Structure 1
Amino acid sequence: MATRFGFFTLTVSLLIIIGSDAFTTSTSSKVEETLQFTYSGATGPDKWASLNPNFSLCATGKLQSPINIVSARAVRNSKWKPLVRNYRAVNVTLVDNKFTVAIEYPEDTGEISLDEKLYRLKQMHWHSPSEHRINGNRFAAELHMVHVSDDGKVLVVGTLFQVGRPDPVLQTIDKKLYELGSEYRSRSRSRSSEAIQVGVFHPAELRTSLRKYYKYTGSSSVPPCTEHLIYLVIAKPRCISKQQVEALKAPLDIRCKNNARPCQPLNARHVHLYQD
């Protein structure tokens, strides 16, 4: 999940400033030509901590994400209730950040409520293959919906996808994704970021209540690997077509086509499960 990039060279469209409990969004007109981190080679995940002193948590953190969720070890919590997502129809922007494709939301998009605290939807982005695993199984893709509370706390709703029929959410933006991919092929590797106006976006699939989900405390899954983010991983995967997976990969930097960080140690954490 993208978070706190202000102190390193890559300017991205989502800035979650955890340390100051603030959140801002801005669509940058230009991305630095050189990615400071990637998913392979000398700047891949096992090298992240050595790339910048601010990335040290990527190696030393004890609450890192993603993780492998072992369902038999999850702690059942019968006191929780289904989580209701209250999102409104708004005009959104599709952005290619070179290491992920994201949708940026305006203010007053809507929110999700957890433990009597509201977390407002700010951004969503995709990883392929999935970052989280369930019982060791990796999925074709994973969607992260990033929410932020008024006091700067971050909550991420993760949806896993297995190969099958097309995902109706991605079908609503398939022409825009193709446009991003076409622009990538027509430009050199050193390219500016692209932002495309999508128009009104309000998929029903993103507004359903969460009736079975895992919850744990984790981190951003990209540098600087900031910790104490809340993850809600929906237990039931959805479907995505092979063509849609390729469309998500097409605009990305060649070193970020498989933009999933490896699973991290669980350490002393517990994964909780709510099932209606």
Structure 2
Amino acid sequence: MYTLLPLAALAGLASASCLHGTSYLPRRSTGNNTIEVAKFGYTGTTGPVLWDSLSADNVACSAGRFQSPINIADSSIATAPNPTSYTLPTGPLTFENLGSTVEVLSEASGNTSALTFDGKAYSLKQFHFHTPAEHRVSDEHYPLEMHMVHEAPSDGSLVVVALLFDLSTTAATPLVKALAAALPAIANPGTATPLGEAADMADIAKHITSTPLRAYAGSLTTPPCKEGVTFLLATEPLPLDVESYNAFKRVVKFNARFSQGALGEENLLRVFAKENEGRQRAAANETPASGAEEAPATSAPPALPEGQGEGDAATVPVGGGPGPVTEGAVSTLDGPRATPAARVRRGRWAGRE
């Protein structure tokens, strides 16, 4: 069983956008409508392949076996029951640029139940965007994805509702269009702006309650990549007008983690590390090319003491690749926080019908 990373250990990860605004990582303002920005990125030495090197708390990014995002194949991830209703946030909203994404928070709705899933009430803490979309459906990618992060007040378990958007020349989603118009006010990372009254989210609520949802137990798609997060992904996209898409792309740039491996299988980064180590070993054992100076011949090794067979000889490991990682080294939302994610295993929804 994976272990839960102590809450105190998360204190330095306030820029982890997927957890931002939850009880794990409450919003932290630096004053004057400025906020703390992310310390991770999506390219170079702060990108996804090196997230585990940014902090010891990020071990799950390279060792976890239930990582997100994934490709939602037609038969691999089961359909989950839709929430019977969805309560929209009320009161003023705040729009923020975290550097890693743009995010909307509603302080007034923090303790208001937004949806009930698997018999448990969840409150909407924030929603943020990824461009291009992180999840794929039958290998198809989309230009934009919205993650609505919900937390259960009863035990802190997380449900992320993921909505996809596809380009349209004839239709638009009012919420996205309104946010796109406000993006110039938060063009710089670390800035925030009030949105005034709650945006029009009627289309969003209808989509969540009527569109087929796929459920699986995955992880945060940003550091620390904690597992034990239930994803509910709507496989049918909402419309995205070209003007709004360009506005998001100009500010957000690129913030999509690469697709992870099949649920439960070895982390792709571990697989790559092992393959690279194997190639290095093979290269070290290659015969010198023709004309190259050969190493001097060495004498045969001394005979083993009488009674000792070759199988008794000590061996020395070659190379310096990553050592074995036990399941206990990977952090997750464990115990009661894992519900209902603990019941979604290997693409099969084990909840009540």
TM range (shorter): 0.7 to 0.9
Structure-2 change in CA distance of 1:51 and 1:224 (3 Å): same
Matched, 1:71 2:77: no
Give the distance between the partners of 2:185 and 2:261, measured in 1 at CA. 38
Runs (5+) with no aligned partner, structure 1: 185-190
Matched, 1:197 2:203: no
Give the distance between the partners of 2:192 and 2:248, measured in 1 at CA. 15
What TM-score do you get using the length of structure 1 for normalisation? Answer: 0.82
Residue matched to 2:244: 244
Cα distance, 1:7 vs. partner? Answer: 1.8
2:27 to 25, 29, 49: 25
SS of alignment partner, residue 7 of structure 1: helix
Give the distance between the partners of 2:85 and 2:49, measured in 1 at CA. 37
Give the distance between the partners of 1:171 and 1:76, measured in 2 at CA. 29
Which amino acid in 2 is paired with 1:199? G
Residue matched to 2:254: 258
Matched, 1:114 2:113: no
Which amino acid in 2 is paired with 1:270? R
- 1:141-173 deviation digits (Å, cap 9, x = unpaired): 100001000111111000011111332212223
Cα distance, 1:206 vs. partner? Answer: 2.1
Residue matched to 2:346: 270
Runs (5+) with no aligned partner, structure 2: 1-6, 265-344
Structure-2 change in CA distance of 1:226 and 1:210 (3 Å): farther
Whether the 8 Å contact between 1:90 and 1:109 is mirrored in structure 2 is no
Whether the 8 Å contact between 1:161 and 1:237 is mirrored in structure 2 is yes
Structure-2 change in CA distance of 1:75 and 1:214 (3 Å): closer
Cα distance, 1:174 vs. partner? Answer: 3.2
Matched, 1:163 2:167: yes
Give the distance between the partners of 2:79 and 2:44, measured in 1 at CA. 40
- 1:175-203 deviation digits (Å, cap 9, x = unpaired): 3113223xx3xxxxxx6x11100011142
SS of alignment partner, residue 158 of structure 1: strand
Give the distance between the partners of 1:56 and 1:66, measured in 2 at CA. 17
Give the distance between the partners of 1:154 and 1:179, measured in 2 at CA. 30
Flag the structure with higher strand content: 1
1:49 to 49, 52, 71: 52
Cα distance, 1:11 vs. partner? Answer: 8.0
Structure-2 change in CA distance of 1:117 and 1:67 (3 Å): same
For the aligned residue pairs, the C-alpha RMSD in angstroms reads: 2.7
Structure-2 change in CA distance of 1:238 and 1:74 (3 Å): same
Give the distance between the partners of 2:21 and 2:90, measured in 1 at CA. 23
Residue matched to 2:94: 93
Give the distance between the partners of 1:145 and 1:36, measured in 2 at CA. 22
What TM-score do you get using the length of structure 2 for normalisation? Answer: 0.65
SS of alignment partner, residue 96 of structure 2: strand
